[in-house]
Amino acid sequence: MDYESIDTIIPTLGKAGISTPIQRWEKNSHSRNFVSDTARVLIDVSLTSVTKTFKEEKEPPSFEIAGPREKIYFDPSKLRCALVTCGGLCPGLNGIIRSIVLELYYGYGVRNIYGIQYGLQGFIPKYGHDIVDIKPEAVANIIKKGGSFLGSSRGPQDVGEIVDCLERMNIGALFMIGGDGTLMAATKIADAITERGLKISVVGIPKTIDNDIHLVSRSFGFDTAVEVATNAIRAAHNEAQGYPNGIGLIKLMGRHSGFIASTAALAQQDVNFVLIPEVEFDLEGPGGFLDTLEKRLKLRGHAVIVVAEGAGQKLFEARGEEYDASGNVKLNDIGLFLKDAAISYFEEKNIKISLKYIDPSYIIRSLPANANDHVFCSFLGRDAVHAAMAGKTKLLIGHWNNHFVHIPMTASAGKRKQVDPHGKLWSSVLDSTGQGSLKNG
């Protein structure tokens, strides 16, 4: 990837000239480690790339490191903040909300914190959703629950009406928690705010259970998804072993990227086939999926298959594209398709099989986050607050090269991270499963 072309400059609302209320000296004389805007982390840390950049007398591309600043832009006593969660549910949403609220309230002394209910609909008067005045006691225990404390919705809303609402409420900082569609909407909202000459910080916290946000090495909820998916694989393996020619078929999330399927398969190495959107396969013919599955059953008497929801879409008849409320292309159901295809294939060959189909997708999405994701969400939420208080805008909080960083929305929104078919993750999957290419010939 051409990292040198990425514009990593973070817009600001103005000079940060107010001393932060975060205590410089805390208990036991431990110093608060404030972060300077000059503190940065390299985007590409490969020696070849760094050496080449320095030889060309260029500055290597880097991201601004997230964290508290000594000087802030907003006066906390006068600041009004809004939070909104958009798109599909994901483990960790409540952890993000909680960490933002607690850092605003206790870290900076902000007392006016408002929750926008049911996604972007909450900004639009015709929907009639109430605004939630959030206090710490309201969010104290929400990390024990799945879903979103504020609710969510899909679908675009009028940007002008959203900014009208922010202006009416006198909001100074808006925190938007959502996936790629939300980040693109946040970019448009930030642009509209700038056009109106308003001083409103817009900070995004990237949310995708699929872990496919561009320039974000890890997204919250992914760790939980892999953990629960691993349990589903374990169950499918037990079912498959329990019957002659037993087959366990698990469909996991992953519209365009197979990170959950690949990682879960490596975490529970009882999987014999992993099918992901990035790697095409043939269904029939010598060396195709069904032929290879038959050979596996003859050899070992059982098989476990993990398929990402976006895999194998070329196997379906061409149709006019249909879109959901979020603007995503509606996918054909590859899980049920493979189930029916396998049953028909073995019936024609007069081979009796016992196939168990498992789709844990919505169970995973609505669960509370696990311990690792709780910690991760706490970092993301607090760093989002630090960025907003410093007057930074049109950015998202990401994780890159083991640092939490500020990433311009324009650098990430509208782009997608995918599994590299020639990279270590996928080669490890191939080593673990032994499935081969699943291509004819």
Query: Which residues are the active-site residues?
Result: 210
Please identify which residue in the block is written with the tokens 């705010």.
193
Does 362 belong to an annotated binding site?
yes
Any known ligand binding at 179?
Answer: yes
The verdict on whether residue 155 carries a ligand-binding annotation is yes
Tell whether 181 is in a known binding site.
yes
Residue 88 is labelled as binding a ligand: yes
Which residue type, as a one-letter code, is found at position 77? Answer: S
Instruction: Check the annotation: does 254 bind a ligand.
Output: yes
Q: Is residue 253 within 8 Å of 260, Cβ to Cβ? A: yes
Any known ligand binding at 340? Answer: no
Residue 208 is labelled as binding a ligand: yes
310 is in an annotated binding site: no
359: annotated binding-site residue? Answer: no
Structure tokens at 378: 């706490």
Chain-centre distance for alpha carbon 25:
35
Task: Give how far the C-alpha of residue 6 lies from the chain's centroid of Cα atoms, to the nearest Å.
Answer: 21
The reply to whether 397 sits in an annotated binding site is: no
> What token pair was written down for 371?
């311990």
How far are the Cα atoms of 21, 28, 100, 104 from residue 70, in angstroms, in the given order?
9, 20, 19, 15
Residue 51 labelled as part of a binding site: no
* 178: phi then psi, degrees, rounded to nearest 5: 180, 180
Euclidean distance between CA atoms 101 and 138, whole angstroms:
10
Integer Cα distance of 176 and 163 in angstroms? 13
205 marked as binding residue? no
CA–CA distance, 38 with 359 (Å, rounded to integer):
47
| Residue listed under structure tokens 């973070």 | 10
209 known ligand binder: yes
Q: Which residue ranges make up the annotated binding site for substrate?
A: 208-210, 253-255, 309, 362-365
Q: Which residue ranges make up the annotated binding site for ATP?
A: 88, 154-155, 179-182
Q: Which residue ranges make up the annotated binding site for Mg(2+)?
A: 180
Q: Which residue ranges make up the annotated binding site?
A: 88, 154-155, 179-182, 208-210, 253-255, 309, 362-365
